Amino acid sequence: MTARTPGDTLARRENRRGWLLVSPSLAVVALVVLLPFVLVVVFGFSDMRLVDIPYLGTEPVAWTLDNFRQAAASQAFRGALWTTVLYAGLTSAGSVAVGLALALALRRPFAGRGLVRALLLVPYVLPVVAAATIWKTALNPQYGVVNAFGRAYLGWETPVGFLSTTSAEVWGVPVPVALLVVVLFDIWRSAPLAFLFLTARLQSVPGEIEEAAALDGANRRQALRFVLLPQLRAVALLLLLLRFIWSFQSFDDVYLLTEGAGSTQVMAIQVYTELVTKADIGSAAAFGLLMSLILVVLLIGYVLLSRRTDES
């Protein structure tokens, strides 16, 4: 409460101190986020390839809209967009649903709850490369445990290439096998985080609310449906949005498991391919910009939605 002390020299000193302390953080943000952001816009609107890097800053920029035109016309880009939306949508819904189930199951104290909670976090803490190596091994057609089990006990005639099969018929319904495996993998890794946030929110719900609902004659299901879940709505919505944003740009999970095989070419892999394989900086930048445009639209939608629910 130093601000209450009379005289504006104190306020001014606090102002100076604030800027002094926060300036290293701002410098990092400016140098490694804002500057690259300006550059990615420039690259997106110019014709630039990897071989041009040594001349960067010495030659005038050749402005062009070609990158965006090509992206809009490209079949691969549209395919990747659809794959990414499907992947991010399924992953976010799945990870929040699993997180919610876990949070509700572990809501009441029981012996060993702390340990169970900690163990459930293991997939979240595991390095993604280690996790992918384990999953790839388990799903391997030759020596993987899943195929061995399926052939020994479930009567599978041929091994299933889980990470390379685009689509397979299961009881007559076409199923995108590889994509679903990647979604499952991402849910496995990200549900613990949703579980943590939902648990934190649940713990701050006062017990009296539930008791009052019980006194009013609500049964357990009604108490859950009308008392607990509304309390979790805001956090669940935020988690859905964050997971969608993160999965929308996820590269590691998909690339490590499939390298884009089996129709799992998401947008992030497209950006990587444009940059590394095709050595086309302009086109990679344009792809990235289009991705962020979609995310910005989504964020605005979320803000409008949460404002409307706040008012009602």
Partner 1 sequence: MSGVRPTRAARAGRAVVITVALLWSLGPVAYGVLLSVRPYADVTRDPLGLPSGLDLSAFTTAMRDEADGGFGLGRFVLNSLGVAAGTVALSILVCVLGAYAAARLRYRGRAVTNGVILAVYLFPGIVLAVPKFVILSRLGLTSSLVGLLIVYVAATVPVALYMMRNFFLALPRSVEEAAIMDGCSLGQLLVRVVLPIAVPGVVATAIYVFMIAWNEYFYALLFLVQHRDLWTAPLGIAQLGDFQVPVTVLLAGSIAVTVPVVIVFFLAQRYIVSGLVQGAER
Does position 6 interact with partner 1 (CB under 8 A)? The reply is no
Strand, coil or helix: what is 283?
Answer: helix
Closest approach of partner 1 to the CB of residue 147, in Å? 8
Does position 298 interact with partner 1 (CB under 8 A)? The reply is no
Closest approach of partner 1 to the CB of residue 263, in Å? 20
List CB contacts of 116: < 8 A, sequence separation 6 or more: 106
Does position 125 interact with partner 1 (CB under 8 A)? The reply is yes
Q: Whose Cβ is closer to partner 1: residue 27's or residue 174's?
A: 27
Q: Which residue from 6, 8, 33, 60 is in contact with partner 1, where contact means CB under 8 A?
A: 33
77 to 96, contacts with partner 1 by CB under 8 A? Answer: none
* Cα–Cα distance for residue pair 304/311, rounded to 1 Å: 11
* Cα–Cα distance for residue pair 241/194, rounded to 1 Å: 11
**What are the E-state strand segments in the chain?**
168-170, 173-175
Q: Whose Cβ is closer to partner 1: residue 55's or residue 171's?
A: 55
The gap from C-alpha 119 to its chain's centroid, in whole angstroms, comes to 22
Does position 145 interact with partner 1 (CB under 8 A)? The reply is yes
Does position 172 interact with partner 1 (CB under 8 A)? The reply is no
> What is the DSSP track for 79-97?
HHHHHHHHHHHHHHHHHHH
Q: Whose Cβ is closer to partner 1: residue 34's or residue 65's?
A: 34
Does position 120 interact with partner 1 (CB under 8 A)? The reply is yes
* Cα–Cα distance for residue pair 21/92, rounded to 1 Å: 37
Q: Which stretch binds partner 1 (CB under 8 A): 66-74, 173-181, 240-248, 303-311?
A: 240-248
Q: Whose Cβ is closer to partner 1: residue 82's or residue 149's?
A: 149
What letters, b where the CB count within 10 A reaches 16 and e where it falls short, cover 54-91?
Answer: eeeeeeeeeeeeebbebbeeeeebeebbebbeebbbbb
Sole residue written with tokens 């859950």: 224
Residue 258 contacts residue 182 (beta carbons within 8 Å): yes
Does position 295 interact with partner 1 (CB under 8 A)? The reply is yes
Q: Which stretch binds partner 1 (CB under 8 A): 63-71, 73-81, 172-180, 215-223?
A: 215-223
Q: What would the two tokens of residue 1 be?
A: 């409460």
Does position 28 interact with partner 1 (CB under 8 A)? The reply is yes
Closest approach of partner 1 to the CB of residue 165, in Å? 19
174 to 193, contacts with partner 1 by CB under 8 A? Answer: 188, 192-193
Q: Which residue from 6, 57, 155, 206 is in contact with partner 1, where contact means CB under 8 A?
A: 57
Q: Residue 99: which of 109, 107, 111, 89 has the closest Cα?
A: 107
Q: Which residue from 88, 177, 240, 284 is in contact with partner 1, where contact means CB under 8 A?
A: 284
